[in-house]
Amino acid sequence: MSNKRDYYETLGVSKGATEDDLKKAYRKLAKKYHPDANPDNKEAEASFKEVSEAYSVLSDQQQRAKYDQFGHAAFEQGGAGGFNGGFDNMNDIFESFFGNSGFGDFFGGGQKRRSGPKRGADVQTTMQIKFEEAFFGIEKEIQISMNELCDTCGGTGAKSGTFAESCKQCNGTGQERFMHQTVIGTMTRLKECSACRGAGKVIKNPCPTCRGTAKVKKNKNIKINIPKGIDNGQSIRKVGQGEAGEKGGINGDLFITIYVQPHKLFTRKDDNIHLEVPITFVQAALGDEIVIPAMDGTEKYLVKAGTQTGTILTFPKKGFTSVRNNRVVGDLIVNLKVTVPTNLNDKQKQILKQFAEEMGEDYKDHKKGFLDKIKDRLK
């Protein structure tokens, strides 16, 4: 069981609190506990994190509904959703209320975030696979162009043998200080350094390969393990296979959207495979053993005498494996379709006429007009 305080109690609001109530409560407490207003105060920092976490969940309607139903357990042990942010995320929530001129700018809280490591960008791409590959699963290799750290300079952006120098204008902080007069007195306002653009360093001799950007476009070969059962339009995520981060930041992720080519025989609906199998008039009337194709081989089936067109057969566990639960497997669903012979020769026609006579039918009636047939039925 979680030892966390109730989120509503943390914000000092009732469970029926409106969105405005939540905002007002968060504004008040975030200002009170923000670490920039309480330097070196671990208790205040912990309270700020607790308040920001509570607001992050309760301000989202879907997550609030989960919390109201399951409490903290909704977001523990892999539960869906939940607060997943670090200190930077809390500052982002804070700045969504107070803007970049909030405590972070006056007290220096934004300095670490702007000059620190930055996560690389995510990369999106697509891949087309065959119907069979989606059924069985397969490992494929994809080549994609993305920004990687420059090998020439090792990601520093500086020419070999040189280094980026600390910016003299901001003394390496990445920010310039300005005195700002307010109603409560003079305060220090921080802005991004105009000389180094917040980097804190200046490259006087840029790398000739990356021109000081520290990154270059590269073709990257990545192996993709496509699970069996993947459906058209689903995506695969490769963690850390996106673009390179900055200043020691982690790489972004790679997302591959899968498109499955249609099959000439089979169609897919959910995890089931559907197939239409033609049988002859004779097979339907007299019965016969037929062979039905399946994705993993064939299935034999004894057609019963007198089978009608549209008869549905189900072969359990012959469909797709669910990508969410490999113990769940769909079925092969077969629709038997009785075909009518065409282009009969004279002998075949005579045989069918004799068959019709045996069945008490008179095919000579086709020569009569429509009104004549109606009159015959009324006799």
Q: Where are the domains of the chain?
A: 1-107, 118-151+208-261, 165-202, 267-338, 346-378
pLDDT of residue 90: 53
pLDDT category of residue 126 using cuts at 50, 70 and 90: very high
Alpha carbon distances (Å) from 120 to 94, 235, 239, 308? 24, 20, 11, 61
Query: For the domain with range 1-107, which CATH number is right: 3.40.50.150, 1.10.287.110, 3.60.110.10, 3.40.190.10?
Result: 1.10.287.110
CA atoms within 13 A on the CB side of 39: 6
The CA distance from 106 to 177, in Å, is: 9
Question: Which ranges in 208-358 belong to alpha helices (H)?
Answer: 281-286, 346-358
Higher pLDDT among residues 129 and 379, named by residue: 129
Higher pLDDT among residues 245 and 371, named by residue: 245
| Chain mean position to CA 239 | 13
pLDDT of residue 284: 92
DSSP-assigned beta bridge partners for residue 333: 274, 314
Question: Residue 245: is its pLDDT beyond 50?
Answer: yes
The number of helices, as runs of H, and strands, as runs of E, in the chain is 11, 15
Question: Residue 29: is its pLDDT beyond 80?
Answer: yes
Question: Where is mean pLDDT largest: 33-37, 58-62, 272-276, 346-350?
Answer: 272-276
* Angle, CA 92 vertex, CA 6 and CA 180 arms, to 5°: 120
Question: Where is mean pLDDT largest: 16-25, 160-169, 345-354?
Answer: 16-25
Question: 159 and 153 in contact (C-beta within 8 Å)?
Answer: yes
CA dihedral 369, 371, 375, 376 (to 10 degrees): 30
Same fold, 1-107 and 267-338: no
Among the listed ranges 148-152, 295-299, 373-377, which one has the minimum average pLDDT value? Answer: 373-377
Alpha carbon distances (Å) from 33 to 7, 13, 19, 189? 16, 17, 21, 20
Q: Per the structure block, which two tokens stand in for 54?
A: 């509570």
* Angle, CA 303 vertex, CA 353 and CA 344 arms, to 5°: 30
| DSSP percent split of the chain into helix, strand, coil, nearest 5 | 30, 30, 40
Query: Which fold is adopted by the domain 118-151+208-261?
Result: HSP40/DNAj peptide-binding domain (2.60.260)
Read off the amino acid at residue 169: Q
Higher pLDDT among residues 165 and 112, named by residue: 165
Residue 110 makes CB contacts below 8 A (sequence gap 6+) with: 91, 100, 104, 175, 190
Question: Residue 77: is its pLDDT beyond 70?
Answer: no
> CATH top-level class for 267-338?
mainly beta
Q: Per the structure block, which two tokens stand in for 242?
A: 């996106």
The CA distance from 35 to 37, in Å, is: 5
Residue 104 makes CB contacts below 8 A (sequence gap 6+) with: 36, 91, 94, 95, 110
Segment 74-80 long-range contacts (CB within 8 Å, at least 24 positions apart): 76/2
DSSP-assigned beta bridge partners for residue 218: 146
Read off the amino acid at residue 136: F
Question: Residue 78: is its pLDDT beyond 80?
Answer: no
Residues 91-115: tens digit of each pLDDT: 555 555 555 444 544 444 444 444 5
pLDDT category of residue 271 using cuts at 50, 70 and 90: very high
Smallest CA-to-CA distance from 11 within 93, 86, 98, 129 is with 93
CA atoms within 13 A on the CB side of 7: 28
Residues 207-224: tens digit of each pLDDT: 898 888 888 888 989 999
